[in-house]
Structure 1
Amino acid sequence: MANERFNLLSLQEAMDILGVSRATIDRWRKDKQLPHIKVGKEIWIDKEKLEAWVYLHSRQHQPAERPKERPGREVTVGYQSGAALLWSTLIIKRLGLFEEELKRTSPSGSYRVTWANAPNGMELVESLIGGRVQIASIGDYPMIASHSLSRVLPRFRPLFLAFDGKTSNGGGLALVVPKGSNLRYADELTDRAISTVGHSSASHRLRQWMSANGLVSDPVVHRTMSECLDGIVKGNVGASFMWEPYLSWARSIGAGVPFPSEGFGGDYLTGIMADGNWAAGHEDVIISYLKAHLRAHAFMRSNPDKASVIIAEESGYPVQVVAGVIPSIRWDASLYERDVHTLRRLNETHAGLIPAAEDRGQPGFGPGQPYLQYAAEGLKLPGLSDAPLIGEWSDEEYY
């Protein structure tokens, strides 16, 4: 109940009166000086001051217009069925988790969800820039590139929402040579064709590895990952830098073997990005998607066999290959200090690849808006901190 003696409303009562989410009212408190009183951990709002604030920030003084019927909203989610660390989207899509959460969040709302399968992450970044996709699942290199692009594209505001699959010490990425090639040392690949997907997490790490080994390969062939596997099968490339599930697929058919080498730039991370301009007006949709994302992670951790069947049917990969890959991936959406350090190192090696411009404070890879926190709260999961979780990955905190 309201504190009638002081004419105060609880935060929940104010949210009910205004018809907004916790994320929205927190943003109003921060950006629009919504008057409030904080006593300990409790937040109270003076009813009279709230009414005055609403009047100042509304159009009540203008002639009232008959509200127009709100049309259904369309949300396009971009994903990559060909990247194992991003397979959670296939679970969301197949089980209808996003649509289910949208109905729970806004029972009277009308939404149309479409899905866009892309061959690589940079294509999805282009779609975010062009407004064709609102939420996208991409690798760490496209995440870094999107932040760099925001410095030279004034209207582009990429917003990091959560992580998807993670692997440690370069796991899930490897340089593969055709079986029987007898290549053992880096310098033996000089002047050999090496194939990978251009402008991807794989190509970025390949460049790092080549530079560390003083290797000059002419040419580095940019192809789709399917073409990279085909090149290994036919033996018409010296090597291919590949990601899962293509690594396991190549081994399962006896076509290729990993080339002996050290790690490729530390941990391999993937995540969820959104168009920040669009997200500001669709917080309920963002939180609904993140709830679906967390549910998909829980499903893959607790039901790997069922998840393998679904992913195999959605992607076309052999179920045996999928089943072998899923347990090797850490399905954890939360942000750790370890992840921040990984992204920082990637960003440092990425410097200079995109024209420099003034950093206008565009969203980076900190916690940002607390959408993941609200999603976790909505699912009754342990609370998430405003700051990155301390230290290394924990076995106790999975999201």
Structure 2
Amino acid sequence: MQGRSFVKIKLFQFVLSDFTEKGAFLLFPKDKGFRLITLQEAMSVFGISRATIDRWRRSKQLPTIKIGKEVFFDPDELQMWIKSHSVCGAAADRPESAPAESLTVSIGYQSGTAHMWSPLIMKELGFFEEELRKQFPHRPIKVLWHNAENGLELVEGLISGLIQIASLGDYPIRICSSLGKLLPNFQPVLLAFDGKTRNGKGISVVVPSNSIIRKPDDLANVTISTVANSSAGMRLNRLLTSIGAAEQEHPNVIHRSMSESLTDIVDRRVGASAMWEPYLSLLRHWGAGTVLFEEGMYEDYLTGLVAGERWAANNEAIVIAYLKAHVRVHQLMRSEPASAAKRVQASTGIPQTVAWRVLSNVRWDAAVYPRDLNTLQRLEERFPGMAPELYPIRAKTDYLNIALEEMGLPSIEASPQGNEWPREQMY
């Protein structure tokens, strides 16, 4: 972040000096001692976006003059500001004509989790790359998309620095916050939410078609598959605890990937499986499975975006670009679910009708509301081995609000903040 800003500021200084010496961009005669540069002129000549200028005004106190709705710059104040933000070191010795350093960002997502299909669609449409080009018009950009089998794989990527932004389910988000207390160099923050459903809808226990299992007590003596340390596995543990057979004590719980669990149900190799969408809908579509709890299991099922706090602070423009793309995808998924489903089918092979049905049942909303944070807190309170007072959720919504502002959308603070989701406004 610092190196990028320095290069732009140096370019700013060079061009500003050149143009003010020639008397260009003068709204008033130079001999009258008052001259201003317009916002559009600054954007065009210096090769920076309006978003970059707005960000520097907020975070770096870039001096501007506002007359009505118009924004201007005083060259003398601008020169002083540029000098105050100059830095020493290797970057200062780089020639102005040197090629711009390439920008590489790694995004972790899970195409096998329907509530996190936002990055999958974003990748298909190129929204993130588009937003990055607006922020960095003169830098080569490369986005690495890491499609993971499960959330823990992405958590490991965040810790190692191989992944910068990851889409995670509610339980892996909780694991992240716990690890943040154990690993001093890993301080995760929740940037925004993704797909949400009430009462855990979208996660359930499924049994093979024609199974005699009909109620929770019937699960006590059957083999059950699920993904270890996942949102589905966590809810399965709670269900088994309610019938006196916690997962850690249940002799027949096996940990399998979701695709393997799907095959296990189809081939009737297990008696049941704790699964998430779209696997529930796929089994019903094929007539190969029966969902026991149609309305879901327990608390709201939440998914969200997590990044390292230090990385996010040093790469604010990238974070904002991603969140703008994230909100744009949500707008598409809400208004054109059929179009979004077509993208899912192209990327995963899941039938478009199945994808459309799943997409339509999810609340696509990036906003972080008290209801959501309370839900994550309750996950800790109800499961052994987690201490909520030690591992509080750390949400940082500043970036999302900046992204919303730049998109001309109301900030989250302007929305209802009770323990319910707003019915009209979604992001």
TM value normalised by structure 2: 0.78
Decide whether aligned partners of structure 1 residues 56 and 352 sit closer, same or farther in structure 2, where only a CA change above 3 A counts.
farther
Q: Which residue of 2 aligns with 1:303?
A: 336
Decide whether aligned partners of structure 1 residues 179 and 385 sit closer, same or farther in structure 2, where only a CA change above 3 A counts.
closer
Instruction: Indicate the structure with greater helix content.
Output: 2
Q: Which amino acid aligns with 1:144?
A: R
Deviation at 1:98, TM superposition (A): 0.8
Counterparts of 2:296 and 2:290, CA distance in 1: 16
Alignment of 1:210-359 (within 5 A): 210-216=240-246, 217-260=250-293, 264-350=297-383, 352-353=385-386
Match 1:377 to one of 396, 405, 410? 405
The CA deviation string for residues 116-137 of structure 1, in whole angstroms up to 9 with x for no partner, is 1001111111101111111111
Deviation at 1:227, TM superposition (A): 1.1
Deviation at 1:52, TM superposition (A): 7.3
Q: Does the 8 Å CA contact 1:151/1:357 hold for their aligned counterparts?
A: no
Q: Which residue of 2 aligns with 1:90?
A: 120
Matched, 1:121 2:154: no
TM value normalised by structure 1: 0.83
Q: Which runs of 4+ in 1 moved over 6 A?
A: 45-54, 60-63, 356-359
In our comparison, the structure showing a higher alpha carbon Rg is: 2
Counterparts of 1:236 and 1:243, CA distance in 2: 19
Stretches of structure 2 that go unaligned for 5 or more consecutive residues are 1-33, 65-72
Q: Which amino acid aligns with 1:198?
A: A
Give the paired residue count: 385
The CA deviation string for residues 232-283 of structure 1, in whole angstroms up to 9 with x for no partner, is 1111212100101100111111111122588523110111112222222221
Q: Which residue of 1 aligns with 2:222?
A: 192
The CA deviation string for residues 70-110 of structure 1, in whole angstroms up to 9 with x for no partner, is 41010111111100011111211111111111112221122
Q: Which residue of 2 aligns with 1:39?
A: none
Decide whether aligned partners of structure 1 residues 23 and 158 sit closer, same or farther in structure 2, where only a CA change above 3 A counts.
farther
The answer to which structure, 1 or 2, has the higher relative contact order (CA under 8 A, 6+ apart) is: 1
Deviation at 1:353, TM superposition (A): 4.8
Counterparts of 1:121 and 1:135, CA distance in 2: 12
Q: Which amino acid aligns with 2:411?
A: L
Q: Does the 8 Å CA contact 1:192/1:237 hold for their aligned counterparts?
A: yes
Q: Does the 8 Å CA contact 2:283/2:289 hold for their aligned counterparts?
A: yes
Stretches of structure 1 that go unaligned for 5 or more consecutive residues are 1-6, 37-44
Counterparts of 2:60 and 2:178, CA distance in 1: 28
The CA deviation string for residues 208-252 of structure 1, in whole angstroms up to 9 with x for no partner, is 121122225312111111111111111121210010110011111
Q: Does the 8 Å CA contact 1:337/1:388 hold for their aligned counterparts?
A: no
Identity %: 44
Counterparts of 2:100 and 2:107, CA distance in 1: 22
Q: Does the 8 Å CA contact 1:335/1:389 hold for their aligned counterparts?
A: no
Counterparts of 1:242 and 1:258, CA distance in 2: 10
Q: Which residue of 2 aligns with 1:156?
A: 186
Matched, 1:174 2:207: no
Q: Which amino acid aligns with 1:142?
A: P
Counterparts of 1:157 and 1:254, CA distance in 2: 45
Q: Which amino acid aligns with 1:184?
A: R
